[in-house]
Amino acid sequence: MISEPLKTRLTKDRPMTSITLRIPVDVVESMKTIAPYKGFSGYQALLKSYISEGLRRDEAQFSYSKEAKLIAALKKLGVPDSVIEEAARDVA
């Protein structure tokens, strides 16, 4: 079963908004160079891809799964983030 947020994400006609980001010129130049190698028409599409990849990864990590609930409980008990991160790396 596909969740509602995922159904919305897969819709092509989603509402869009414009934002302004300040990015170093050398980073933009690097993205312009890399974009065609990754099959993108330009750096903006590549940037959107990077944002989407990171967002999907973080959503999976921080969703309200059993793992996320366990992490929240460990933090509440005072377990340092570094220990939790190390344990998560060991499990992955």
> What are the tens digits of pLDDT across the range 65-80?
777 778 878 888 999 8
Rounded distance between C-alpha atoms, residue 10 and residue 75, angstroms: 33
Q: What is the pTM assigned to this prediction?
A: 0.59
> What are the tens digits of pLDDT across the range 50-67?
998 998 888 777 766 777
The domain limits of the chain are 21-91
